[in-house]
């Protein structure tokens, strides 16, 4: 059942708030039946609930916000938990992925845990945060990112047993695996309200992973085309796959279609059943629906 929707003024075609809960959901059985997947960032809070026994997603919620600091973010998050009190129940398993936080990929051959901070600060500032690392098994690399201490402490208090990872790790692992099964260069853009991730892979090899901030559809088109040019990939010869907060036939989709001949929207179902109450396109939940496969 959809309880509400809203569209931001920044880019009306990319942002939507929604909340779906299947009638089969039983909040008294969370500790035995369900896996909780959560995404947290300065621009979004989202979650899904998977019925592990039936392999069916029975809840899906996404809320956009614009938070300038961790204090404002945690205030918003507390409000969401008041609205969805069942999120703080004990679950059979749970995972939290962070988005909107800079990250860097380090091949295993160059990784040294004692030099983790040095490796991360080569591209980004830590700013008092704690450095985390995800093991990219299909890539043979570590994905490093820093989370503000206050936010990490808040998350640990709410979901102390949750597996923590970066949303980019979910996207990278899935696309790298997919690229092994097709005879083409895979180009995927996952759109968020203020930023987007661009991933390019070929035959199981990651060619590019980067996150870009944007304020208009033209920014996204520019960064995609520029990245393709740098890798000497012809934009009229590739298929661009889109996921995240982008509307089919919206302004951004139409703009990208002017430059790239083939554009598809990724199938977010990933072989798992989705509740019939989910009336949003599945590409919007791709990173959430795949999170369970990475923990």
The CATH number assigned to the domain holding 152 equals 3.30.420.250
11 within a domain of the structure (yes/no): no
Domain co-membership, 177 together with 50: no
43 neighbors 66 (Cβ within 8 angstroms) = yes
| Phi, psi (rounded to 5 degrees) for 172 | -65, -50
Domain co-membership, 198 together with 213: yes
- What's the pLDDT score for residue 9? 34
d(CA 211, CA 171) in angstroms, rounded, equals 12
Domain co-membership, 160 together with 286: yes
275 neighbors 22 (Cβ within 8 angstroms) = yes
d(CA 172, CA 116) in angstroms, rounded, equals 20
Domain co-membership, 200 together with 258: yes
Helix axes 149-158, 70-83, angle to 10 degrees: 20
Domain count, the chain: 3
6 within a domain of the structure (yes/no): no
Domain hosting residue 35, numbered range: 18-100+145-167+268-294
Domain co-membership, 110 together with 84: no
1 within a domain of the structure (yes/no): no
Measure the N-to-C terminal CA separation of the chain; round to a whole number of Å.
28
The CATH number assigned to the domain holding 212 equals 3.30.420.260
Domain co-membership, 150 together with 94: yes
Domain co-membership, 208 together with 256: yes
Q: Where is 32: in which H helix or E strand? A: helix 30-33
Q: If you compute the radius of gyration of the chain from its CA atoms, what whole number of angstroms results? A: 19
Domain co-membership, 182 together with 109: no
Along the 295 residues of the chain, how does pLDDT read in single tens digits? Answer: 333 333 333 344 344 699 999 999 999 999 999 999 999 999 999 999 999 999 999 999 999 999 999 999 999 999 999 999 999 999 999 999 999 999 999 999 999 999 999 999 988 988 778 999 999 999 999 999 999 999 999 999 999 999 999 999 999 999 999 999 898 899 999 999 999 999 999 999 999 999 999 999 999 999 999 999 999 999 999 999 999 999 999 999 999 999 998 999 998 777 789 999 999 999 999 999 999 998 8
4 within a domain of the structure (yes/no): no
Domain co-membership, 155 together with 53: yes
Distances 290 to 165, 261, 266 between C-alpha atoms, Å: 12, 27, 12
> Which pTM does this prediction carry?
0.91
């Amino acid at each position: 059942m959809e309880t509400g929707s809203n569209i931001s003024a920044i880019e009306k075609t990319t942002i939507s708030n929604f909340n779906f809960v299947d009638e089969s959901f039983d909040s008294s059985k969370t500790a035995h039946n369900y896996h909780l997947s959560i995404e947290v960032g300065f621009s979004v809070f989202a979650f899904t609930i998977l019925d592990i026994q039936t392999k069916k997603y029975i809840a899906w919620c996404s809320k956009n916000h614009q938070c300038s600091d961790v204090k404002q973010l945690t205030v918003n998050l507390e409000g969401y938990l008041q609205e969805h009190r069942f999120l703080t129940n004990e679950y059979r398993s749970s995972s939290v992925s962070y988005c909107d936080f800079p990250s860097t990929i380090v091949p295993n051959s160059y990784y040294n845990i004692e030099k983790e901070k040095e490796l991360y600060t080569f591209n980004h500032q830590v700013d008092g945060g704690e450095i985390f690392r995800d093991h990219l098994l299909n890539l043979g690399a570590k994905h490093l990112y820093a989370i503000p201490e206050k936010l990490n402490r808040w998350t640990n208090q709410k979901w102390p047993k949750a597996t923590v990872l970066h949303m980019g790790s979910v996207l990278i692992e899935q696309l790298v695996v997919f690229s092994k099964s097709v005879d083409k260069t895979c180009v995927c853009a996952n759109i968020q309200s203020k930023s987007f991730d661009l991933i390019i892979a070929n035959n199981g090899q990651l060619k590019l992973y980067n996150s870009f901030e944007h304020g208009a559809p033209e920014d996204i088109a520019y960064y995609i085309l520029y990245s393709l040019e740098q890798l000497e990939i012809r934009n009229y010869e590739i298929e661009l796959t889109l996921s995240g907060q982008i509307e089919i036939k919206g302004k951004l989709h139409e703009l990208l279609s002017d430059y790239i001949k083939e554009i598809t929207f990724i199938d977010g179902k990933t072989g798992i059943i989705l509740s019939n109450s989910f009336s949003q396109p599945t590409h919007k939940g791709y990173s959430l629906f795949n999170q369970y496969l990475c923990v």
